[in-house]
Every structure is written in structure tokens, then in C-alpha cells.
């Protein structure tokens, strides 16, 4: 009997996978032509892309950069390519980009908004990125006082007096706390600061300004405009609305009935009306609500209303984060013997804010986009300026180029913010996936 069974003693060499399932062809088959329906979609998409690009690329690159008016643009187009269709007239951007950026800010003072913008980057750097030099936090602390002074100009004593109020409050708290205890110190500190701001700072600033006149040329609000204005309103609203939103969210979550009712009423009211009505309030009604004779700056009024609007939305986002936190975290904080503010500061808020990062950032993006609404009440933000440019006889009839430019700028800012939020989520992720 012979053993006819056959057992292979050596491994076969690995074979390369079939050409149709690896490499470019494999990828194409898996992702673009996996079945007939996908193939149709792919072909349709390709046709669409080719159609768009065949119009867009010549429009963007075969374009006129130097001209004084739309008519001149068209003459150049006809002289060069024979027709006016399908060619952009970027000359309008070249002529007006400074205006679209700074509005009617005096051109010899452009260094001030630019400096303010650079300082802004330095100021928010340490907040956004852990690798940023920590010393920049001093700039962050000084920025709220520095920015208005740089933008509006005038005497340096005004912002310094406001800052001095904070210093007075801080030192009052510092010295009184060992003597009278925390709560009394807090109340006295707030009162001291308020008295300083409301009563003393005006005469002191006047006297100091008379004695040592340090100042830069003042610029009026109606000269503000362009992306400078959008960024100013956006940054103020974003920066101030986050703390207010946190307080509102805590108020809404609190056990204190009256506090809760006030917070809920405020949040639901603001969220129930469109921003444009709040801007109407800023432009027409805010002066009626304040003591007779008060008439403060329109940009400041708009900033206040946009901030309140942002704060209500922020509060809801943060409330979502607070609600998503497991109850054990609250109980754990209590069992450690932390009081309300300690547990909020050390345990609850760091986690709740982390959970709500995507919502917070999309609120930021929404607020920044909503700053264009100020054009409706007559401020010259980029959109308001674009209306003015289109009404100008020289550029009457131009729209794609202007809106493409403005839209691209907004896209860069907003897309940047959303990418940053993704980065932040990755950096703060503590689960080990």
C-alpha cells in the first residue's frame, strides 16, 4: 500500500493581489465605480466639476487687475479676449481693498488698527495654544484697555482710569479680606470700584489729562468700517459673551427660583427674537432706555446688543454641557467638601466647557457671521461698503468679484475657527482610544 496523500511541506509564496483591487485602479473601483449607480453619480459629478472649473478658472485668472471703472475693465477685456463674459474685474478689489479692510479710517493712522490686530494675535495666543510664551498673558490682560485706546485714540487717561478701577477693586479685596472676611471684602471691593468709575475717575482723568496730556489723534466712530469693524465687534462679542454665558447657564441650572426665572426669561427672550430687532433697539431705543441726555457711541451700543445676543446662545450651549455631565461629578465635588464656586471652578466647569467646545465654537462662528447685519442699521461693515461701492457710478453693476472677496475673507476666518475647535477637541481628549 502506497501512501498517495500529498502534503505540501513548504509555504507558497504570497501572490500580489489582483491589479483591480489595489493601487489606483482598486481605489477607483472601491470609491468611484463600485456599482452602476455610483458610476452614474461619479460621471455626473465629474461633468459638474469640469463645468464649474471651466468657467471659474478663466474667470479668476484671465482677469483685469488695473482699471478705474467697470467700463474701463470691459474695454480692456474686449481688447484682450474679445468679450466681457467669463472674466473677472479684480480692479475693484485692487482699488478698494483698503476701504474694505479699514472703512474710512484715516490712512495715515492705519498703523493703529494693524498694531491692534497684531496685539490681538499676541493676546489670544496664550489662551489658544499651550506652546505660546506665557509672558504674552500680560498683553492679554492689558488688551481690553489698549484696544479701544488704539482704535478710537484720544487721551490715554480714560482707559487707564478704567483699568485703575479694577486695580482698586483688587487691592481693596486683598486688604480687607483678612480683616472682615471674604464676602464683605467682595462687596466693599465692588463698591470701591463702582465709586471710582462713576464718581472719581472722570475728574481725575480730566486733571491728569490737563497736567500730562498724553494722547493720540482721536478717530470718530463713523470712520470705522470694513473687516476692521467686523473683527472688532466679533472679538468683543465673543470675548465678553463667554463669561456672561457661563453665569447665565449656571443661573438657569441653579436651585434659586427667582434667579432661575430671571435667567430663563432673559435667555428665551433673546433667543426668540432675530438679531436685527436687537440692532434696531441699539440704533433707536437704547438711548430712550437710558437716563436723559445719555448718548453714547453707536458702535458701542451695537457691541452691547450683539454681546447680549451671543451670551444667550452661549448660555444654552454651556447648559447642554452641564446637563451632559454625569451626576456623580457634582456629588463627588460635594463629598470633597468643596463649596459651590470651588466645585464649579475646579470640577464642573473644566469638564462642561470641554464637552461644549463644538457648540461654543459654532456659536462664535455664528456671531462673527452675524456681524454683517450691522450693515442694515447703516454701519459700514464689508457688506455695507460693498453696497456703497456698487452704488458708485464707476463700479455700478459689479457684484461677483466683491462678494467673492468678502465671502472668501469670512470663509477663511470661520473655517479657521472650526478647524481650531477640532484641534482643541483632539488636544483635550482624555479617553484613550
Partner 1 sequence: MTTLTDPPKESFRLSMLIYDTRYRSMTIQVVAMMGFMLLAAWLINNTLTNLATLGKPIDFGFFSEPASYDINQRLLEYDSRDSHLRASFVGLLNTLVVAVLGCITATVVGVLVGVLRLSPNWLVARLMTIYVEMFRNVPVLLWIVLVMAVLIESLPAPRAFRGEDPAATMSFFDSVAVTNRGVYVPEPLFSRSLGDISVFGEASLRFNISLDLILILIVLGASIFAIRWNSKRANAIQEATGDRPTTWHVNLGLLVVPTAVVLVALGFHLGYPALKGFNFQGGTHMRNSLIALWLALSLYTAAFIAEIVRGGILAISKGQTEAAGALGLRPNRIMSLVVLPQALRVIIPPLISNYLNLTKNSSLAIAVGYMDITGTLGGITMNQTGRELECVLLLMLVYLSISLLISAVMNWYNNKVKLVER
Q: Which is nearer to partner 1, 203 or 292 (CB)?
A: 292
Stretch that binds partner 1, among 68-76, 102-110, 155-163, 289-297 (CB under 8 A): 289-297
Burial class (CB in 10 A: 0-12, 13-18, 19+), 393: exposed
205: Cβ contacts below 8 Å, ≥ 6 apart: 155, 157, 158, 160, 161
Residue 215 in 3-state DSSP?
strand
84: Cβ contacts below 8 Å, ≥ 6 apart: 74, 77, 78
CB-CB neighbours of 280 under 10 Å: 16
Distance CA 143, CA 152 (A): 14
| DSSP E strand boundaries for 121-232 | 154-155, 215-216
Distance CA 352, CA 360 (A): 11
Give the per-residue contact string, 357-396, with partner 1 (x = CB under 8 A; - = no): --------x---xx-xx-xx------x--xx--x------
Which one of residues 17, 213, 350, 407 is an interface residue with partner 1 (CB under 8 A)? 407
CB 306 within 8 A of CB 351: no
Q: Which is nearer to partner 1, 237 or 373 (CB)?
A: 373
Stretch that binds partner 1, among 144-152, 296-304, 346-354, 409-417 (CB under 8 A): 409-417
Which one of residues 1, 183, 211, 393 is an interface residue with partner 1 (CB under 8 A)? 183
Which one of residues 53, 247, 259, 323 is an interface residue with partner 1 (CB under 8 A)? 259
- Smallest separation (angstroms) from partner 1 to the CB of 124: 20
∠ CA(291), CA(297), CA(299), 5° rounding? 130
Which one of residues 218, 289, 393, 431 is an interface residue with partner 1 (CB under 8 A)? 289
Bridge partners of 154, per DSSP, are: 216
Q: Which is nearer to partner 1, 133 or 291 (CB)?
A: 291
- Smallest separation (angstroms) from partner 1 to the CB of 119: 26
201: Cβ contacts below 8 Å, ≥ 6 apart: 161, 162, 164, 165
Which one of residues 256, 324, 346, 422 is an interface residue with partner 1 (CB under 8 A)? 256
Based on the shown chain and the rule CB under 8 A, indicate whether residue 280 belongs to the binding site for partner 1.
yes
Residues between 290 and 329 that touch partner 1 (CB under 8 A): 290-292
Distance CA 137, CA 43 (A): 54
Based on the shown chain and the rule CB under 8 A, indicate whether residue 104 belongs to the binding site for partner 1.
no
If you ran DSSP here, which 8-state letter would residue 192 be given? H
Question: Helices 157-180 and 182-195 sit at what angle, rounded to 10 degrees?
Answer: 160
- Smallest separation (angstroms) from partner 1 to the CB of 142: 31
Based on the shown chain and the rule CB under 8 A, indicate whether residue 255 belongs to the binding site for partner 1.
yes
Based on the shown chain and the rule CB under 8 A, indicate whether residue 262 belongs to the binding site for partner 1.
yes
Based on the shown chain and the rule CB under 8 A, indicate whether residue 285 belongs to the binding site for partner 1.
yes
Q: Which is nearer to partner 1, 129 or 269 (CB)?
A: 269
- Smallest separation (angstroms) from partner 1 to the CB of 78: 19
Based on the shown chain and the rule CB under 8 A, indicate whether residue 244 belongs to the binding site for partner 1.
no
Give the residue from 350, 109, 86, 64 showing the smallest Cα distance to 223. 109
What is the residue whose three cell numbers read 477685456? 77
- Smallest separation (angstroms) from partner 1 to the CB of 45: 5
Q: Which is nearer to partner 1, 415 or 423 (CB)?
A: 415
Q: Which is nearer to partner 1, 147 or 231 (CB)?
A: 231
112: Cβ contacts below 8 Å, ≥ 6 apart: 150, 151, 153, 216, 219
Based on the shown chain and the rule CB under 8 A, indicate whether residue 31 belongs to the binding site for partner 1.
yes
Q: Which is nearer to partner 1, 89 or 275 (CB)?
A: 275
CB 389 within 8 A of CB 395: yes
Distance CA 235, CA 113 (A): 14
Distance CA 266, CA 309 (A): 10
Q: Which is nearer to partner 1, 203 or 291 (CB)?
A: 291
Bridge partners of 155, per DSSP, are: 215
Q: Which is nearer to partner 1, 99 or 386 (CB)?
A: 386
- The residues that touch partner 1, with contacts defined as CB under 8 A, are 31-32, 34, 38, 41-42, 45-46, 48-49, 183, 255-259, 262, 268-269, 271-277, 280-281, 284-285, 287-292, 365, 369-370, 372-373, 375-376, 383, 386-387, 390, 397, 399-400, 403, 406-407, 410-411, 414-415, 418
Amino acid at each position: 500500500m502506497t501512501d498517495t496523500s500529498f502534503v505540501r511541506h513548504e509555504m507558497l509564496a504570497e501572490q500580489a493581489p489582483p491589479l483591480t483591487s489595489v493601487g489606483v485602479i482598486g481605489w477607483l473601483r472601491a470609491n468611484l465605480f463600485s456599482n452602476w449607480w455610483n458610476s452614474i453619480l461619479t460621471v455626473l459629478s465629474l461633468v459638474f466639476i469640469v463645468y464649474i472649473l471651466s468657467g471659474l478658472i478663466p474667470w479668476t485668472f484671465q482677469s483685469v487687475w488695473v482699471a478705474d471703472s467697470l467700463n474701463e475693465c470691459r474695454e480692456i477685456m474686449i481688447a484682450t479676449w474679445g468679450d466681457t463674459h467669463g472674466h473677472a474685474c479684480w480692479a475693484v478689489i485692487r482699488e478698494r481693498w483698503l476701504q474694505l479692510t479699514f472703512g474710512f479710517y484715516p490712512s495715515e493712522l492705519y498703523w493703529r488698527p494693524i498694531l491692534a490686530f497684531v496685539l490681538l494675535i499676541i493676546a489670544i495666543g496664550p489662551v489658544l495654544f499651550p506652546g505660546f510664551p506665557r509672558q504674552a498673558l500680560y498683553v492679554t490682560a492689558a488688551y481690553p484697555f489698549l484696544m479701544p485706546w488704539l482704535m478710537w485714540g484720544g487721551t490715554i487717561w480714560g482707559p487707564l482710569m478704567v483699568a485703575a478701577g479694577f486695580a482698586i477693586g483688587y487691592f481693596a479685596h486683598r486688604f480687607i479680606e483678612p480683616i472682615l472676611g471674604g464676602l464683605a471684602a467682595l462687596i466693599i471691593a465692588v463698591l470701591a470700584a463702582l465709586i471710582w468709575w462713576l464718581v472719581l475717575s472722570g475728574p481725575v482723568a480730566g486733571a491728569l489729562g490737563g497736567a500730562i496730556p498724553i494722547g493720540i489723534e482721536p478717530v470718530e466712530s463713523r470712520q470705522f468700517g470694513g473687516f476692521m469693524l467686523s473683527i472688532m465687534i466679533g472679538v468683543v462679542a465673543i470675548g465678553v459673551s463667554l463669561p456672561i454665558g457661563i453665569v447665565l447657564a449656571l443661573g438657569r441650572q441653579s436651585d434659586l427660583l427667582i434667579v432661575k426665572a430671571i435667567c430663563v426669561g432673559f435667555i428665551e427672550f433673546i433667543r426668540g427674537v432675530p438679531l436685527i430687532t436687537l440692532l434696531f433697539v441699539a440704533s433707536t431705543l437704547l438711548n430712550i432706555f437710558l437716563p436723559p441726555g445719555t448718548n453714547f457711541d453707536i458702535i458701542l451700543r451695537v457691541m452691547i446688543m450683539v454681546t447680549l445676543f451671543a451670551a444667550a446662545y452661549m448660555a444654552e450651549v454651556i447648559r447642554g454641557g452641564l446637563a451632559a455631565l454625569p451626576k456623580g461629578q457634582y456629588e463627588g465635588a460635594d463629598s470633597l467638601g468643596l463649596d459651590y464656586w470651588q466645585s464649579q471652578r475646579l470640577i464642573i466647569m473644566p469638564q462642561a466647557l470641554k464637552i461644549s467646545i463644538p457648540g461654543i465654537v459654532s456659536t462664535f462662528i455664528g456671531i462673527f457671521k452675524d456681524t454683517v447685519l450691522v450693515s442694515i442699521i447703516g454701519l459700514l461693515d464689508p457688506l455695507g461698503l460693498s453696497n456703497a461701492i456698487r452704488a458708485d457710478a464707476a463700479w455700478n453693476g459689479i457684484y461677483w468679484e466683491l462678494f467673492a472677496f468678502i465671502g472668501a475673507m469670512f470663509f477663511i476666518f470661520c473655517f479657521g475657527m472650526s478647524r481650531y475647535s477640532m484641534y482643541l477637541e483632539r488636544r483635550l481628549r482624555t479617553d484613550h482610544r
